Amino acid sequence: MFGALGQFERDLIRERTRAGLQAAQARGRRRGRKPVITEDKLKRAHELIAKGLTVRETAARIRVGKTVLYSTLQTHSLLPQSGAKSSTGKPTM
């Protein structure tokens, strides 16, 4: 009997949580953390890399982590896939 009541209570909580999330979404609220790299930072990073800076140097200049910059550049197809080599045989980044 107590198990059934516990399950019923849990279902009510789950239902209320979903309703609250849907209401927040309808108001325009977004879930999760805000992106660290904005479009301006991404554009600046692309310019710096095009000038010959490494991703590590670029990340330091725009004040973001190199891991975040690598993943963002790969997501936006601005960085060759890992292991890619240039015509000289050296890694590209």
6, part of any domain: yes
- For the chain, what is the domain count? 2
CA 6 to chain centre: 37
Q: Is residue 25 domain-shared with residue 43, that is, in the same domain?
A: no
Tell me the pLDDT of the chain (93 aa) as tens digits. Answer: 889 999 999 999 999 999 999 999 999 988 888 888 999 999 999 999 999 999 999 999 999 999 999 999 888 876 655 554 444 444 555
Spatial separation of the C-alpha atoms in residues 81 and 49, rounded to whole Å: 15
Q: Is residue 43 domain-shared with residue 71, that is, in the same domain?
A: yes
83, part of any domain: no
Q: Is residue 2 domain-shared with residue 23, that is, in the same domain?
A: yes
The residue segments making up the domain with residue 60 are 39-75
71, part of any domain: yes
Name residue, tokens 């725009």.
Answer: 62
